[in-house]
A and B are shown apart, each in its own frame.
Chain A
Amino acid sequence: EVQLVESGGGLAQPGGSLRLSCAASGFTFSSYWMSWVRQAPGKGLECVAKIKQDGSDKYYVDSVKGRFTISRDNAKNSLYLQMNNLGAEDTAVYYCARHSWGSLEYWGRGTLVTVSS
Chain B
Amino acid sequence: DVVMTQSPLSLPVTLGQPASISCRSSQSLVHNDGNTYLTWFQQRPGQSPRRLIYKVSNRDSGVPDRFSGSGSGTDFTLKISRVEAEDVGVYYCMQGTHWPGTFGQGTKVEIK
Residues of A within 8 A of B (CB): 35, 44-47, 50, 59, 61-62, 95, 100-110
> Are B54 and A101 interface neighbours, CB within 8 A?
yes
> Are B100 and A59 interface neighbours, CB within 8 A?
yes
Residue of B nearest to A6 (CB): B48
Residue of B nearest to A95 (CB): B48
Counting CB contacts under 8 A, is B82 at the interface? no
- Min CB gap A91→B, angstroms: 18
Q: How far apart are the CA atoms of A115 and B51 in the complex, in Å?
A: 29
Counting CB contacts under 8 A, is B35 at the interface? yes
Residues of B within 8 A of A (CB): 31, 35, 37, 39, 41, 48-51, 54-55, 58, 60, 92, 94, 96-97, 99-106
> Are A47 and B101 interface neighbours, CB within 8 A?
yes
> Are B48 and A103 interface neighbours, CB within 8 A?
no
> Are B92 and A103 interface neighbours, CB within 8 A?
no
The dominant DSSP class at the A interface is strand
- Within 8 Å CB of A47, what residues of B? 99-103
Contact of A103 with B96 at beta-carbon distance under 8 Å, contacts A95-B48, A109-B48 already known = yes
- Within 8 Å CB of A105, what residues of B? 51, 54, 60
Residue of A nearest to B58 (CB): A101
Q: How far apart are the CA atoms of A62 and B1 in the complex, in Å?
A: 10
